Structure 1
Amino acid sequence: MRATDDSGAVLNAEFEVEADGDHLALVVKSAGGRVTGSPHGRNHQYNPALELLLHRLRERGAVLEAAW
């Protein structure tokens, strides 16, 4: 999946939500490397997407238990 910011722009940063025992895990794919035909690296909007996703989780009362 890709996150869409509040202005409707789709961010170039892929993520997944996976089951993790009794919880859910947010997995944001790594950034970097070349992408054929693109001036940007892979998932070059990783940081803004991660901040956006964490902000939205906070708004919903989610609790961060660990980060890797």
Structure 2
Amino acid sequence: MSTLLVILFIGGALRFILGIIWFILIVVTLMDLLKSRIPTNTKLLWLIVILLAPVLGSIIYLILGRSNKI
């Protein structure tokens, strides 16, 4: 019984930590996007990508979008 409680606690704590990391990633990405000097229509496109696929969109923006190649 106590082993099950420990597993459930660890699983809940891990989910909480991953949720915090997910939230911070999206906030940092959106702040960087809004501060960037890219054109407004490109910002809007990136915003849509980030909001539709938060984690993947954020990672793609941080890798490709910041370099202004797209």
Q: TM-score, normalising length from structure 1?
A: 0.33
Q: TM-score, normalising length from structure 2?
A: 0.32
Larger radius of gyration between Structure 1 and Structure 2: 2
Decide which structure has greater strand share: 1
Higher relative contact order (CA 8 A, sep 6+): 2
